[in-house]
Structure 1
Amino acid sequence: MNITFLSNDVYLADGIRVDNLVDRLYCIFDLEGTGILAEHESITQFGAILYQNGRVLDTFTSLVNSTTPIPEAVQQLTGISNESLVDAPSYSEVYRRFIEFCGDAVLVTQAGYEYDLPMLKKHCHLHDVPYVERPVIDTKALFAAIHPELDEVFSTDYLIDYYGIEDTDIKRHDAAGDCVLISRILMRILAEYRTKQLADFDLTEGLKVRRFIIPQMYLSKQG
């Protein structure tokens, strides 16, 4: 699996193929961090759910001890404070537990090719932990693959609006809550795949996807 950032606006995903999408066991995961720029930030929370055929089978969540302070604006957004991380387990410990929880499931993220995977790989390197290679589906790319007519940033809010997904019962910007939301997005996209009689996610020839727009509060950190 290769993710190549072609510009600030577009990435290329290739070398990815997942067969038999409908019946797969998925581990949907989400990370919270001290900010949105993966090269600068630290992970503060893991969330994951095991999901198959429209059902949540199990859940996992943990805070992560961070060496990077959480800015006040991000504390307000996520509800995670610097104080709450003082006694949290290390990245190494949480990542080990996360991989055990996932087992052989295919990983699923939303905007993970741009954020979650770079964060995981960076932290594995920093903590001298082997990064476990496995198939990963980003719901943005999964959606883009069947909608070449659309030239948008397929953000979480875009997909919520597109499918009319209920999200008022979910705590947003919380890793556990966002996993439930991603499961609802995944369910709607897989329903489209079934309608189009598509059984596989095949990016072996590459797919260009528009990257998320960096919020103004983070722009001062660039460069």
Structure 2
Amino acid sequence: MREIVLDTETTGFDPQTGDRIVEIGAVELMGHVATGRTYHQYINPERSMPQGAFEIHGLGDEFLADKPKFAEVGRAFLEFIGDAKLVIHNAAFDIKFLNAELSWMKLPQIPWEQAIDTLEIARKRFPGSPASLDALCRRFNIDNTARTLHGALLDSEILAEVYLELIGGRQPDFGLSSANEGSDVSATTHWTPRPRSRPLPSRLTESEAAAHAEFISKLGGNPLWSKT
């Protein structure tokens, strides 16, 4: 199963009032295990970066000036995510911005049901507890010390770890699914050892067996382990 852990950074809170995406970061998972394949793109928002957004993201107008516009990278982004489930923290926010940008390009919208919202999962698992990404890192003892500023790719990598904890921890199949391809055994089958057709011969020497028997005979009280 392919999943994309995704994060965006924006100039503000509402694309309908002029805010735009300035960064996209994404991490690919296969079977809940990171493949090492990522997507990362800074984007020229075609507007000035508000002071508050600059303080959060550390991305200024000069840095973003020579970056591509969303219209130049939108198709490549859609190709990267494909039809994979999108794991996003507060998915409504990111999907809102992505769909706004895609709509201006007249490209297909991302269906809401394609998203998995880790914020919603966290609130259901830990009702009444803080559910921010930083709070979940503290809960699961995930190192986020590098997160001095919001960065889309770093946040996606951290969120991937949080997501795996939220769904019960990483459970890789160690490639068994491919090894068993074409067989009747699935990757989720619980393997159990079969009994040997012939018991292994005893490794005790005759002298060791005699010494043990002598030791048992001296215990007295008819011990259970002396019965055959």
TM-score normalized with structure 1 length = 0.67
Which residue pairs with 1:48 in the alignment?
Answer: 26
Cα 1:171–1:94 change in 2 (3 A) is farther
Which residue pairs with 2:201 in the alignment?
Answer: none
Separation in 2, partners of 1:182, 1:26:
12
Residue 116 (1) aligns with residue 94 (2): yes
Separation in 2, partners of 1:193, 1:89:
36
Which residue pairs with 1:216 in the alignment?
Answer: none
Q: How many pairs were matched up?
A: 168
Separation in 1, partners of 2:115, 2:13:
20
Structure 2 residue identity aligned to 1:120 = L
Highest Rg: 1 or 2?
2
Larger strand share, 1 or 2? 1
Shift, 1:80, TM fit: 1.3
Q: Deviations over 1:51-105 (max 9, x none)?
A: 2333243011111121231112322321211122222222123221111112332
Equivalent residue for 1:190, pick from 167, 191, 204 = 167
Residue 91 (1) aligns with residue 55 (2): no
Separation in 1, partners of 2:167, 2:106:
36
Which residue pairs with 1:77 in the alignment?
Answer: 56
Larger helix share, 1 or 2? 2
SS at match of 1:69: coil
Equivalent residue for 1:66, pick from 45, 65, 83 = 45
Cα 1:139–1:172 change in 2 (3 A) is farther
Which residue pairs with 1:177 in the alignment?
Answer: 154
Q: Is 2:88–2:117's contact at 8 Å kept on the other side of the alignment?
A: yes
Residue 163 (1) aligns with residue 154 (2): no
Which residue pairs with 2:128 in the alignment?
Answer: 151
Separation in 2, partners of 1:45, 1:174:
8
Shift, 1:146, TM fit: 3.4
Cα 1:59–1:171 change in 2 (3 A) is farther
Which residue pairs with 2:107 in the alignment?
Answer: 129
Which residue pairs with 1:31 in the alignment?
Answer: 8
SS at match of 1:66: coil
Moved more, 124-133 or 40-49: 124-133
Cα 1:163–1:32 change in 2 (3 A) is same
Structure 2 residue identity aligned to 1:101 = F
Separation in 1, partners of 2:105, 2:148:
30
Q: Is 2:27–2:34's contact at 8 Å kept on the other side of the alignment?
A: no
Q: Is 2:25–2:41's contact at 8 Å kept on the other side of the alignment?
A: yes
Structure 2: stretches of 5+ with no match in the other structure: 172-228
Once superposed, what is the RMSD of the aligned Cα atoms?
2.3
SS at match of 1:145: helix
Q: Is 1:170–1:181's contact at 8 Å kept on the other side of the alignment?
A: no
Identity %: 24
Moved more, 117-126 or 34-43: 34-43
Shift, 1:170, TM fit: 4.5
